[in-house]
Amino acid sequence: MSRFFIEVSYKGTRYSGFQVQQNAISVQAELEKALAIYFREIIELTGSSRTDAGVHARQNFFHFDMDKEEGVVYKSAYHINSILPNDIAVNSITKVKDDAHCRFDALSRAYQYTLYNKKDPFLTDTAYYFPYKIDIEQLNIAANIIKHTEDFETFCKRNVQVHTYKCKIEESIWTMQGHQLFYNVKGNRFLRGMVRGLVGTMLKVGTGKINIETFREIIDSKDVQKADFSMPAHGLTLMKVSY
């Protein structure tokens, strides 16, 4: 029995999330269905980074075990893609060590949230229309605070069982390109709803609704009700999972 990592990308608009759910379509369910058709056996996938309903991924991973020749698997990405719907793509299938785990072995994950301030029909499904004046300098002061924060309880949606709210953030920065505004964040782990909560709360700083001191107080409060989780899912993309 050999273990394989399967790298995927997807547009999350149609899906109720990454993981298999009852009575709802998910990325995992569609991929398991395609694998079963191609390999003619049931394939159980383990996911790397869960994404919520409507969230996209440039790169995400599953792993699975299979008792087949390596060559068959390496040649299979093209054929599996022909079975999958157009909004999911298999980028590669790679044999790994038998004890490799796509979730627990991940060193970091990088996300990007995209906004735009000028009507653009090509961005409606993958970015959030936000036609308001924004102070980029203030946004980046807030983003820098995130890099030096360890406890993110304020930005974790409730009804989630986690052993710790501590995360190590390596990158946190806002950039403007044309009429698009990007927030890029990279860390060892993320809590449920965390990136969207960070974006929504920092935008309050960027639009002058709160100041930096209040932003610090919101972080220190560990009160989820003080964070802004209103940012829609379609603006968020998982960009990279590093091993």
pLDDT digits (tens, 9 = 90+) for 126-161: 999 999 999 999 999 999 999 999 999 999 988 777
**pLDDT band of 24, cuts 50, 70, 90:** confident
Tokens of 56: 């996209």
pTM above 0.85, yes or no: yes
Question: Is 52 in the active site?
Answer: yes
Catalytic residue among 52, 67, 87, 135: 52
d(CA 27, CA 30): 5
b/e map 137-164, b = 16+ CB within 10 Å: ebbbbbbebbeebeebbbbbeeeeeeee
pLDDT digits (tens, 9 = 90+) for 172-201: 999 999 999 999 999 999 999 999 999 999
- Beta bridge partner(s), residue 111: 185, 238
Assess contact for 62 and 48: CB atoms under 8 A: yes
Domains observed in the chain: 2-96 (3.30.70.580), 108-242 (3.30.70.660)
**pLDDT band of 204, cuts 50, 70, 90:** very high
